[in-house]
Amino acid sequence: MREPLRVLYYPDFGADYSTLVKSIILFDEIHFMDRSSRTFDGQSLTIGSHSPMRQYEKSFRNEGVPIYVHEPPSGFVTGELRSAVEADLTDLGFLRRFQEGLQSSRRFRDSQIQPGNYGNGETHETIFEKLAAIKLHESLAPVAILEDRNIRPFTFTTEAGILKTFVEKAAFCSERLNFALKVGATESFSPLADMPPYGNMLSAKYNRAIASASSGSGEIFPTDLSLAIVDELVPAERLEQIKIEHAIKIRKETEAERTAFLDHVLTLQARLGALPAGSDYAATINKIITTEIRPAAAEYRRKLDTIWEKLLGDVIKGAVTWAGSSALIQFLGDLSWEKILLAGASATSFVAVQTVDAILTERAATRDCALAFLVNLSEQ
């Protein structure tokens, strides 16, 4: 029996709606953190705040969804965690992927640059434009910029102020990522994020570790793989339609299927093993989707189509046994379950037997496919 998949959400103190729905449907335990108050230099800091999930965690647990909120450490970023952040800041690949995340994902951008009025005509959009325009190069010395108390962040009239803001944003993002990785390693959590930029930044960290041979290669987290599979099989608009109470109901009614799905994900993860040198985290997940998930889902859909096409064919052929050829022609001219049920006891009995056979065959196909409950969810 596998260990429970305990996930720790780290990008912020609360996930967006679709990520929360997916997590309720999928994961054994879901953990959040309050927003911490952290600083690198004593000047700039994040403002601590309770997670909005705190007011709901007990009611979720009463409904059978184990959700917990934890208080993270606050204060100066020091020791091993600070060293990990500084290693990220000196990695040009990491900084470029952070910048690309700002450009490619509005959700990621808004989590790094809180929407609002920053004074002097600056908004989160004008700040983003300035951070996105920074030309990153090897001679930046971002750690020195972070520690330079003479350069004020959020001073957008100078190139130094813009660069200090960018470095600080990347540093605080790195701190959350590295804290989640550390807690995951020590407390058996699987880090959970809902935006591709985090996977891209993980790629940079893994590639750096592999190149230096300092800590071996990385692994694909089951959380990232699970969410990628859901995003592949369930349309975004379908997820947005699912209310929280419906997500809880789905979790309860598909417990066996949910467990089979997670078993399948962990099997894929184990089969993949450690990421080899030069591999890309996000690209590796996309490859799994292409080679493993799409074919399995397509085969399951094909089986369902075949089952019910066979039922229809059997009903049409069976019509000859309980009606003459003229009745069959009329039947085919207006094929409906109402016509079948009005055709007589022998016809109703025949259809009922064939339908039961089809249902049993469909259940067998569903048991054989770990993706079945997600495929069916997408079509409800």
Helix (H), strand (E), coil (C) string for 93-147: HHHHHHHHHHHHCHHHHHHHCCCCEEECCEEHHHHHHHHHCCCCCCCCCHHHHHH
Q: Could you give the CA distance from residue 322 to residue 305 in angstroms, rounded to a whole number? A: 26
Q: Which two tokens stand for residue 88?
A: 């990220």
3-state secondary structure of 375: helix
The residue type found at 103 is Q
Radius of gyration of the chain (CA): 27
Q: Rounded to whole angstroms, what are the CA distances from 219 to 83, 93, 209, 229, 266?
A: 21, 19, 12, 17, 12
| Paired sense of beta strands 6-9 and 190-192, if any | parallel
| Residue segments in the chain with a per-residue pLDDT below the cut of 70 | 1, 209-217, 277, 307-365
pLDDT of residue 100: 95
Q: pLDDT (tens digit, 9 = 90+) per residue, 134-170?
A: 999 988 899 999 999 888 888 888 899 999 999 999 9
- Tens of pLDDT, residues 107-135: 899 989 988 888 888 889 999 999 999 99
302: Cα within 13 Å, side-chain hemisphere: 6
Contact 52/13 with Cβ under 8 angstroms? yes
Contacts of 304 (CB under 8 A, 6+ apart): 362, 365
pTM of the model: 0.81
pLDDT of res. 308: 60
| The pair of three-digit structure tokens given for residue 340, joined into one six-digit string | 């079948």
Query: Residue 380 and residue 197: Cα distance in Å, rounded?
Result: 31
Among candidates 192, 205, 241, 252, which has minimal Cα distance to 9? 192
173 contacts: CB under 8 Å, gap ≥ 6? 98, 112, 201
Question: Is residue 371 packed enough to be buried (19+ CB in 10 Å), middle (13-18) or exposed (0-12)?
Answer: buried
